[in-house]
Structure 1
Amino acid sequence: MVDLTQEEWAEQLKNDENAVVLDVRTDEEVEEGYIPNAIQIDIYKGQGFLDEIEELDKSKNYYVYCRSGKRSAQACMLMNQAGFENTNNLLGGFMEWEGEVAED
């Protein structure tokens, strides 16, 4: 797992053709907005979260975020244990995100 600042995250994501953005927040949090093209898998689902990440492509580079950066760090660790090699945690999370935001 690599902890990335907002600037590092945005820069790497822009130049990474193998990137997947993963939002580990709750449905209610996602309704407030999300980073474009993010896949949402709520880490609070417990075993459901683990089951869903097992279906993801482990060869991709994952950019993981939550509200503040704590749950996403946990998610990265769980993903690393499950065999994902490239996970990046967004420091400060969505609360400090200054990039593009999408809303449904």
Structure 2
Amino acid sequence: MSDACKLRRWDLLKKQLKNFSPKEFQEAIAKWPEAILIDCRTANEYQSGHLEGALNIDYLDYDFLEKMEALDPEKTYLVYCRTGRRSVRTCMLMKNSGIPTAYNLDGGLIALQAMEQVEA
């Protein structure tokens, strides 16, 4: 197999997760009001703007893992970040720690905002 045919590690990780397109993510927020939105960006990024009702759990923070362990595995989680990279990692950690219903916003807020601009 040539290098051009190999899947990137990032794509392999994403294939193991439940990923929503921006439109599906918006629909899930509306359809599942009990779902918990997690913004895994830094506190500064979160303060500059976030989705309404989102809980900020910074992927880069020293107590990130402790906060993940405190989550209820029976709940549904909708996870996002700026580009989708930190949220993929967050969802993978959630999945590996026994949280079966964590959904990643594919492309992050950038993709969501781009979709909203196209629809406007």
- Please indicate the TM-score interval, normalised by the length of the shorter structure: 0.7 to 0.9
The structure with the greater share of residues assigned to helix is: 2
Query: Given residue 12 of structure 1, which amino acid in structure 2 is its aligned partner?
Result: A
Q: Which runs of 5+ in 1 are unaligned?
A: none
Paired position in structure 2 for 1:94 = 109
Please state whether the residue corresponding to 2:100 is helix, strand or coil: coil
User: TM-score, normalising length from structure 1?
Assistant: 0.87
User: Equivalent pairs: percent with the same residue?
Assistant: 35
Paired position in structure 2 for 1:82 = 97
Match of 1:20 among 20, 28, 36: 36
User: TM-score, normalising length from structure 2?
Assistant: 0.76
Distance in 2 (CA, whole Å) between partners of 1:95 and 1:29 is: 13
Paired position in structure 2 for 1:6 = 22
Match of 1:53 among 55, 58, 68: 68
- Range 91-100 or range 4-13, more displaced: 91-100
**Over residues 67-86 of structure 1, what are the superposed CA-to-partner deviations in whole Å (9 max), with x where a residue is unaligned?**
10011000000011111000
User: Between Structure 1 and Structure 2, whose CA radius of gyration is higher?
Assistant: 2
| C-alpha RMSD of matched pairs (Å) | 1.7
